């Protein structure tokens, strides 16, 4: 472990990474994450759309059955 004198003699500027390098590294991480996650998000969006189409279709079918039964003329 470092002594307090050693810690006082170190400045933050000497031990830190330059801001330009940090910005480039953050930009690179964002681009890589975007490239890797875009297909996953696209697949998830497609699966949600298909599920919603099925749900809407089932609801429309059920509403159509009820409407069809209600529009029948009573037999005598």
Q: What is the tens place of the pLDDT at every residue in 51-65?
A: 999 999 999 999 999
pLDDT given at position 53: 98
Report residue 31's pLDDT band, with 50, 70 and 90 as the boundaries: very high
The SS3 of residue 73 is coil
Three-state helix/strand/coil letters over 9-45: HCCHHHHCCCHHHHHHHHHHHHHHHHHHHHHHHHHHH
- pTM of the shown model: 0.52
Widest CA span in the chain: 105
pLDDT given at position 45: 96
Eight-state DSSP code of residue 51 = H
pLDDT given at position 3: 61
* 18 vs 56, higher pLDDT: 56
Domain ranges of the chain: 13-71
- 28, pLDDT greater than 80: yes
């Amino acid at each position: 472990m470092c002594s307090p004198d050693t810690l006082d003699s170190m400045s933050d500027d000497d031990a830190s990474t330059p801001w330009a390098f940090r910005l480039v590294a953050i930009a690179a991480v964002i681009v890589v994450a975007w490239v890797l996650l875009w297909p996953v998000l696209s697949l998830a969006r497609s699966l949600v759309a298909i599920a919603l189409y099925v749900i809407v279709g089932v609801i429309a079918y059920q509403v159509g059955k009820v409407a069809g039964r209600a529009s029948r003329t009573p037999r005598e």
